[in-house]
Amino acid sequence: MNAATARTAVTVTTPHSRYDILIGAGLLADATAWQGLPAATQAVIVSNPTVDALYGPALQAMLSAHHARVSRLQLPEGEAHKDWATLNLIFDHLLAQGCDRKTVLYALGGGVVGDMTGFAAASYMRGVPFVQVPTTLLAQVDSSVGGKTGINHPRGKNMIGAFYQPQRVVCDLATLASLPARELSAGLAEVIKYGPIADMAFLDWIEAHLDALLARDAAALAHAVRRSCEIKAEVVGEDEREGGRRAILNFGHTFGHAIEAGMGYGQWLHGEAVGCGMVLAAELSAALGMVDTAFVQRLARLVERAGLPVRAPAMAGARWLDLMRADKKAQGGEIRFVLIESPGHAVMRPAPDATVLRAIARHSATLPEGT
């Protein structure tokens, strides 16, 4: 057990930066995990009330060895607050504390905290260093790695942001113990994602270890996080800004974003929408002759076992298409889907509207008559 949960590191190398993802149980309390970060008089830990109450004081104490002043800031919780008003709370705090352009920000929390803290770090005085300290499975395997930061706009998710790489990502697996079951499942959606797009052996492993993952077995979580980060680091290293291959990481996300936007941010968790979105994207891949129905069923079964929805909410077809055309991956009004060309390999492709709507219909709740 010790060997499996011992600390490991995955290195992310992009054209302009290089940083480590540290993975292990108990890293928040491990002084060596925090050495070598940029020196600065001040540090600010940005979190939300729940996570800050659990881990804020411990991190603050740890960082006091490196910074003369370490303050903590709680942002209101949830995707619904991933907006300018909340982002501005960070700027207000930094300016009120007299933070200079060397100040280091620490994002302690899930994807919302990480995305907003990262964008604040990218923008405050045109850029200060920041460190990701993800405390959700989703953030550990996906959002804290790769430098995507941003906030939502009423018309679209993550529409405003920056590519801005952290100095380090510190994944303390022990923090996953406090994660609500629904969020653990949401994180598993992004873990599962790496199988169909890049590594079917990993998909086999997930199928075999899903019960252990749901039971939060430390060794299983360590492997899932490490392998996910390895795949993400490899893809992001090739394509930091999503000109090409990086887009495959959005498997399930075009449908998923439409669900999130259509239902109102915060109704479905991001990972829930992605879980269901992967089933729709697999179905569309099958409809285009790329994979067989067994593959779709296999993926849907795994998504369902992970505690995730496999039926999309009832929405009119025109609404689906409108929402997906507003996606950042759309170009010149054409929706580009991440599809599974063959198990383990993803491609970007447009698809006929009728085919898309049929795929959605096969995995959707029915609209009430007359709508």
Question: How does strand 69-74 pair with strand 42-47?
Answer: parallel
N residues, the chain: 371
- The per-residue DSSP string of 26-83 comes to TGGG-GGGGTTSPP-SEEEEEE-HHHHHHHHHHHHHHHTTT-SEEEEEEPPPSGGG-S
**Cα–Cα distances in Å, from 259 out to 8, 13, 255, 278?**
36, 33, 6, 12
Q: Which of 101, 211, 238, 293 binds a copy of itself (CB under 8 A)?
A: 101
In the block, tokens 């480590």 appear at 20
Q: Which of 13, 71, 123, 267 binds a copy of itself (CB under 8 A)?
A: 123
Catalytic residues: 126, 148, 190, 232, 242, 246, 250, 253, 257, 270
* Window of 48-56, 171-179, 331-339, 350-358 that interacts with a copy of itself by CB under 8 A: 331-339
Identify which of residues 129 and 307 has a Cβ nearer to a copy of itself in the complex: 129
Min dist. Cβ of residue 153 to a copy of itself (A)? 6
Q: Which of 3, 35, 294, 332 binds a copy of itself (CB under 8 A)?
A: 332
Site string for a copy of itself, 261-300 (x = CB under 8 A): ----------------------------------------
Min dist. Cβ of residue 334 to a copy of itself (A)? 9
Site string for a copy of itself, 208-247 (x = CB under 8 A): ---------------------------------x------
Q: Which of 12, 27, 122, 340 binds a copy of itself (CB under 8 A)?
A: 122
Min dist. Cβ of residue 247 to a copy of itself (A)? 11
- The per-residue DSSP string of 201-214 comes to HHHHHHHHHHHHHH
Rg of the Cα atoms in the chain: 20
Identify which of residues 237 and 344 has a Cβ nearer to a copy of itself in the complex: 237
Tell me which long-range contacts 206-210 makes (C-beta under 8 A, separation of at least 24). Answer: 206/302, 207/302, 210/302, 210/305, 210/306
Write a three-state SS string for 313-351. CCCCHHHHHHHHHCCCCCECCECCEEEEEECCEEEEECC
Question: How does strand 148-153 pair with strand 156-163?
Answer: antiparallel
72-91: contacts with a copy of itself (CB under 8 A): 84, 88, 91
Amino acid at 330: A
31-70: contacts with a copy of itself (CB under 8 A): 41
Identify which of residues 248 and 359 has a Cβ nearer to a copy of itself in the complex: 248
**Cα–Cα distances in Å, from 87 out to 149, 169, 266?**
12, 21, 17
Min dist. Cβ of residue 91 to a copy of itself (A)? 6
Q: What does the alpha-carbon distance between residue 149 and residue 68 come to, in Å, rounded to a whole number?
A: 27
Min dist. Cβ of residue 364 to a copy of itself (A)? 25
317 binds a copy of itself (CB under 8 A): no
Helix axes 253-263, 270-287, angle to 10 degrees: 130
Identify which of residues 126 and 371 has a Cβ nearer to a copy of itself in the complex: 126
Q: Are 155 and 144 in contact (CB under 8 A)?
A: no
Min dist. Cβ of residue 123 to a copy of itself (A)? 5
Pull the structure tokens for residue 13: 């190398």
Identify which of residues 289 and 333 has a Cβ nearer to a copy of itself in the complex: 333
Q: What does the alpha-carbon distance between residue 180 and residue 330 come to, in Å, rounded to a whole number?
A: 34
Q: Which of 66, 163, 205, 237 binds a copy of itself (CB under 8 A)?
A: 163
Residue 201 CB contacts under 8 Å (≥ 6 apart), including other chains = none
18 binds a copy of itself (CB under 8 A): no
Identify which of residues 116 and 306 has a Cβ nearer to a copy of itself in the complex: 116
Residues that bind a copy of itself (CB under 8 A): 15-16, 41, 84, 88, 91-92, 95-96, 98, 100-102, 122-127, 148-150, 153, 155-156, 158-163, 241, 325-326, 328, 330-333
